[in-house]
Amino acid sequence: MAEFFKKQRVGAYLNLVAAVLGIVGIIAAVICSNMTVTYRLGNIGEIALIGVCGIVLAVLAICLPNIFGNHDIISTCSVMGAIALFAAAFANVLSERILLIAGLFSYDSVNTVGWQVFYVTVVSMAAFIIADLVLIIGAFTKSVK
């Protein structure tokens, strides 16, 4: 295991950070869905499944360059797939919360429970977007020595 980590370069570590951020995004989405019955996410299963698939592809982008070398087609496709899946998870969370956000910023600004759900939702969406940005940056760097 120590040799595996010695062979890794910046790209592999950025993909690892993206996978961890994907986990954070899923956990935050589940928490914001379970805070109250009123603000439950209708598609939490889909969000979790999309996030887990994105995490699996990010982990594949760490492991595959050790076998095939830097910037091979399979790891490149897995990075692109992870980017697409994390963006889809972000879009699903946003589409479920758009009415809550609109209400909080217009006529229902004193809804304290809504604001708590909104803050956790922002953490989830930020984690998915930052994971996308980290994956994009990592795609231009080498993963193995």
Confidence of residue 100 (pLDDT cuts 50, 70, 90): confident
DSSP label of 37 = S
- Between 64 and 15, the higher pLDDT residue: 15
pTM: 0.88
Confidence grade of residue 92 (pLDDT, cut at 50, 70, 90): very high
- Backbone angles phi and psi of 75, in degrees to 5: -70, -30
> In the chain, what are the domain boundaries?
7-139
- As a whole number of Å, the end-to-end CA separation of the chain is 16
- Quick one: tokens of 34? 């379970």
pLDDT tens digits, 15-48? 999 999 999 999 999 999 998 888 888 899 999 9
Is residue 124 very low, low, confident or very high in pLDDT (cuts 50, 70, 90)?
very high
Half-sphere exposure of 144 (CA within 13 A, CB side): 16
Query: Cβ(50)–Cβ(92) under 8 Å?
Result: yes
Under 8 Å between Cβ of 4 and 140: no
Residues ≥6 apart with Cβ < 8 Å to 111: 103, 104
How much is the pLDDT for 9? 75
